[in-house]
Amino acid sequence: MKFVLDTHAVLWIAESATRLSPKVRTLASKCAADDFGIAAISLLEIARKARTGEIELSPDPASWLEDLGERFQILPLTPHIAWRSVELDWSHKDHADRLICATAVEHKVPLVTHDQEITRWSGVAVVW
């Protein structure tokens, strides 16, 4: 694995969105699927967005999420990642963002994100 994907990056790569930066679009087209990891918490974020109608997943959310596990490496929440997420020197209160960042830090790979809060923090290498 070479990168961890933030939740929005997962969704945008899956739909080949134009919102992806040229750099990320190139990475997505040239890298193998197993070069990308997804923090387990992103599955919950995506499921919640589908349940509330913020996004539509076809053919259905459960199948879409299952397919995601076939396309990318799902990275489990481990005790080390959980602890690292609360130990980050960062005032950000979003637990999902903290877990996603801690996952990238724990695996020693950059995080693919457009999130400016994460980029400003600079506690994790960011690719965008």
Overall average pLDDT of the 46-54 stretch: 97
Q: Which residues contact 37 (CB under 8 A, 6 or more apart)?
A: 1, 3, 4, 5, 72, 73, 74, 75, 103, 107, 109
For residue 88, the model assigns a pLDDT of 96
124 close to 12: Cβ distance less than 8 angstroms: no
Domain that holds residue 41: 3-127
Q: How many folded domains does the chain comprise?
A: 1
pTM of the model: 0.94
Rounded-to-integer distance, Cα 52 and Cα 102, Å: 27
For residue 90, the model assigns a pLDDT of 94
List, for residues 98-118, the tens digit of each pLDDT value.
999 999 999 999 999 999 999
Q: Is the pLDDT of residue 17 over 90?
A: no
8 close to 62: Cβ distance less than 8 angstroms: no
For residue 63, the model assigns a pLDDT of 96
**DSSP code, position 31:** S
Q: CATH number, domain at 7?
A: 3.40.50.1010
